[in-house]
Amino acid sequence: GAGVSQSPSNKVTEKGKDVELRCDPISGHTALYWYRQSLGQGLEFLIYFQGNSAPDKSGLPSDRFSAERTGGSVSTLTIQRTQQEDSAVYLCASSPSSYTGGNTIYFGEGSWLTVV
C-alpha cells in the first residue's frame, strides 16, 4: 500500500501480558516516529528512528516499553507486562526527511490497545 500501515488495528490483552505493535512505513521514508494518544487527547511522543537507529528514546514511559527498527523499514513497539494505563491508541508516522520544514509526516491509522 501507499500509506503507513499498522497492525493489529485493535488488540485486547490481559494485564501482565506482552504485546507487539507493528509499523510498516512508506517505502523510502527514513524518519519514523511512534506516538501514543489517549481518548480524545493530543499525541504523546514516544520514540524517533532515523534509519535503524533511535537517537531519541526520551518519550518511552518506562523500561517496559521498547522499540526496534530493522532494515530501515519495519518497526516494532513492544510493551512488556502490560498495565491498564497502557490502554491507548499507538500511532506510527513516517517522513522522507528528519526535518519538517518542507516535508510531510504521514500517520498510520493506529493500533488501539485495551488492557483488561
Closer CB to other proteins, 51 or 80, in the complex: 51
Q: Does the protein bind other proteins through residue 48 (CB under 8 A)? A: yes
Among candidate residues 52, 88, 82, 85, the one with its CA nearest the CA of residue 67: 52
Residue 11: DSSP 8-state: E
- List the one residue from 7, 78, 83, 98 that touches other proteins (CB under 8 A): 98
Integer Cα distance of 69 and 72 in angstroms: 6
Q: Give the number of residues written for the chain.
A: 116
Given phi > 0 = left and psi -120 to 50 = alpha, else beta, which region is 30? alpha
Binding track over 13-32 against other proteins, x by CB under 8 A:
------------------x-
The C-alpha cell 491509522 sits at: 109
- List the one residue from 33, 60, 88, 115 that touches other proteins (CB under 8 A): 33
Q: Which residues pair with 36 in a beta bridge?
A: 44, 90
Q: Does the protein bind other proteins through residue 107 (CB under 8 A)? A: yes
- List the one residue from 50, 52, 76, 87 that touches other proteins (CB under 8 A): 50
* Site of interaction with other proteins (CB under 8 A): 4, 31, 33, 35, 40-45, 48, 50, 55-56, 91, 93, 98-102, 104-110
